[in-house]
Amino acid sequence: MTDVLHERRQLTGLAYRLLGSLSDAEDVVQEAYGRWYALSGPQREAIESPGAWLTTVTSRICLDQLGSARARRERYVGEWIPEPVPGQAASLADPADRVTLDESITMAFLVVLESMTPAERVAFVLHDVFGYPFAEVAAVLGRSTAASRQLASSARRRVRAARPPAPARESAEVVRAFKTAWEAGDIEGLVGLLDPEATVVADGGGLVSAVRRPLVGRERVARYAVDLTGRIPALTLVETLVNGRPGLVARREDGLVAVLAFEVAGDAIRRIWAVRNPEKLRLWQMA
């Protein structure tokens, strides 16, 4: 019998990029394997590339889910942010593809993916990130090869329109300085580290308190951070990697408060994504 379990990591990485949720990605991959094992022995033996078959099935399930996700997110309480993952992005990818795939798992990149149509997202991730030929992408989408190329091209323009982030080392220095100023309650220091149009987006999912709309403007963001420290006693901030990029974890004695991902450009923070929804922080509870 063909051993297909070694495909699980790559399938999970693919589904995570398509859905923005690791828990949903794991469910999709489980369903794809269920469909594989539901085939008869002769049916499985007749499949020339089980990995390609599983990729196609996983992608199609994700495509179906993306179609209904928009309606679900319209009912979502507050802002929806992709589920953050701790540590290096390589944990969701084949190490041989680490350089390419690490960039495709940052929070900033996942947010750009959220702006795409489901078909654009699938075409782009399959072709530009995972290197699948357009003929196979077309088979997943049920469209022509030319149409699939056009979808990926449209998605590519969205990605290029996003300004490039600072290198990880420079980002780490800026995030560390932000942490130091935040802990000191230094509003002026925080303002100096933020882009004039700096934005904070928070996701509580209606399960915990969080600002319902993005906060825009560096003075407003800085004052909000300092006020938050005053409202949450004994708040501690820990530097960590969030989706492979420098970030922070906020904790207090009774548990996790938030995971913060940053988008840094040059020496200024452009965006902060604060994930508070406990359903999206299960991996961090164990970290």
Residue 232 binned pLDDT confidence (cut-offs 50, 70, 90): confident
Tens digit of each residue's pLDDT (9 = 90 or more) over 87-120 = 765 455 553 443 345 678 899 999 999 999 999 9
Q: Could you give the CA distance from residue 172 to residue 247 in angstroms, rounded to a whole number?
A: 8
What are the extents of the domains in the chain? Answer: 5-161, 168-286
- Cα radius of gyration (the chain): 20
- Which of 217, 224, 218 minimizes the C-alpha distance to 274? 224
Q: Which CATH class is domain 168-286?
A: alpha beta
The model's pTM: 0.90
Taking residues 122-128, report their average pLDDT: 96
* Average predicted confidence (pLDDT) for the chain: 90
Taking residues 195-216, report their average pLDDT: 94
Q: Which two tokens stand for residue 136?
A: 């196979």
Are domains 5-161 and 168-286 of this chain identical in fold? no
Q: Which of 76-85, 155-164, 174-183 has the lowest mean pLDDT?
A: 155-164
Q: Could you give the CA distance from residue 84 to residue 283 in angstroms, rounded to a whole number?
A: 9
Comparing 286 with 83, which gets the higher pLDDT? Answer: 83
164 pLDDT above the threshold of 80: no
- The whole-number pLDDT of residue 230 equals 84
- The whole-number pLDDT of residue 163 equals 74
Tens digit of each residue's pLDDT (9 = 90 or more) over 233-256 = 789 999 999 999 999 999 998 889
Q: Could you give the CA distance from residue 113 to residue 97 in angstroms, rounded to a whole number?
A: 20
Tens digit of each residue's pLDDT (9 = 90 or more) over 29-61 = 999 999 999 999 999 999 999 999 999 999 999
Q: Domain 5-161 maps to which CATH number in 3.10.450, 1.10.1740, 1.10.3470, 1.20.140?
A: 1.20.140
